[in-house]
Amino acid sequence: MPSASVPRPRTPVPSGLRRDRDFRRLWAGQTASQFGEHVGLLVLPLVAVLALGADPRQLGVLRAVGQAPALLLSLPAGAWVDRWRTRTVMMLADLGRALVLGGTAALGLLGLLALPALLVASFTVGVLSVFFDVAYQASLVRLVRRDQLVAGNSALEGSRSVAQIGGPALGGVLVSALSAPAAVASGAVFFAGSFLTLRRIRRDERVPEASPRVLRQIREGVRFVAGDSALRAIGLASAAYQFFLAATMTLYLLFLTGRLGLSGTAVGLALAATGPGALLGSLLAARLPGRFGHGVVLVAAAGLGDGVMLCVPALHGPPAVVLPALVAVNLVFGTFGQLVNVTVMAVRQALTPDEMQGRAAATISFAGMGLAPLGSLLGGFLAQEWGSRTGLLVTASGLLLSPAVLALSPLARLGRTLPDPSASKERRLPALPAERNSTVTELRG
């Protein structure tokens, strides 16, 4: 880790950024897309359980199918995004997701919706989500100046928090109060709105020069992340977290609807509590790392946020009793989870050059989300063999492996200031074999 460092900016959103029409369009489109994503994350599994009567194994398979594209496509998606315009990638991804969910809703209206159709829709949406998520993480770096990144990320993270509040609640209400097709169609409407907004961005986007060989780009991205101890630790911690989170969430839905007897609306309200928590976490992320140190905040927030999930399998009683407790747990989980997310994002962006942003994000996403399908299958298996309460206790305990990895890594020693990119010119991409004629890239500020 470089020793030189500079304070993190704490200024509000610059007036120039507020007046930037293209940034506002990106912000609005990203907000609509986040609503579509968070509605869909709850609606498709709930439709499978409540409308189609899916059993635990089938629910685990459904979640695994939707997460499999992260394992299959994250690395090539990072290489492709680094050579394409992120606006185009995000537009096409959201248009595709709107069409897929719209078609699924139409099948529901015709009485033809079945589990195989839901599996196809889940996989296709997952494929498109991989491309949108990688492009989204690289888009801001190309759209605004470096001194506007902190303010821009803060605004985008705030809208994501709002979507976390409204998306699950809206999805749960629609499934319970209207119908499965109406709930699925709401996600399509949000994605269509995102497409129409993003296409209005007019600024020419600078696309970094890239190697014509996709496999070579993928290797460069993997070598860059694997060769940096801090980025490598982020990838390992993400892998542990996403694996056990996927297993936990599969069991979580079964536990809430089966053992606790909560309705779709109640499940949506419980999950929506992560939204205000995430908003609070974003605010804390602007202050706590600069006061206590990035390493202390990362380890402590990860331990508290993941550890609180151990409270869920201990819950008993009627919905009126357990729902407030679930809201409190999800509030804490959302607060500290978002604090970790924002802090990690700042560290990753500081250590990654512009032309490597997509591949670094995709490599870390591959390490984390690539294990999510296996986690979902594990969750379904544990629910079937051990029951949702015991299985949930096991997988919630596994979440604590992530803060343990952070505590044993160089990230735990990060101080109150981030590494200074301008002082890191000695950092290079790990060289590929000489016969490959690989290029060397500096980390720039």
Residue 242 is assigned to a structural domain of this protein = yes
Count how many domains the chain has: 1
- Closest CA relative to residue 268, chosen from 176, 130, 375, 148: 176
Do residues 353 and 209 lie in contact, with contact meaning Cβ atoms separated by under 8 Å?
A: no
- Closest CA relative to residue 334, chosen from 404, 274, 290, 273: 274
Residue 252 is assigned to a structural domain of this protein = yes
Q: How far apart are CA 292 and CA 288, in angstroms?
A: 6
Find the mean pLDDT for residues 44-62: 81
Q: How far apart are the first and last CA of the chain?
A: 15
CATH code where residue 356 lies: 1.20.1250.20
Residue 421 is assigned to a structural domain of this protein = yes
Find the mean pLDDT for residues 198-224: 75
- Structural domain including 44 reads 17-202+212-436
Residue 148 is assigned to a structural domain of this protein = yes
Residue 445 is assigned to a structural domain of this protein = no
Across 18-32, 394-408, 417-431, the highest mean pLDDT is recorded for 394-408
Report the share of the chain in percent with pLDDT over 70: 83
Residue 1 is assigned to a structural domain of this protein = no
pLDDT in tens, 270-318: 877 877 887 788 788 777 887 888 889 899 999 999 999 999 888 888 8
Do residues 430 and 223 lie in contact, with contact meaning Cβ atoms separated by under 8 Å?
A: yes
Do residues 210 and 83 lie in contact, with contact meaning Cβ atoms separated by under 8 Å?
A: yes
Residue 441 is assigned to a structural domain of this protein = no
- Written as one string, the DSSP assignment of 192-238 is HHHHHHHTT--SPPPPPP--S-HHHHHHHHHHHHHTSHHHHHHHHHH
pLDDT of residue 149: 65
Residue 10 is assigned to a structural domain of this protein = no
When the pLDDT of each residue in the chain is averaged and rounded to a whole number, the result is 78
CA 272 to the chain's CA centroid: 16
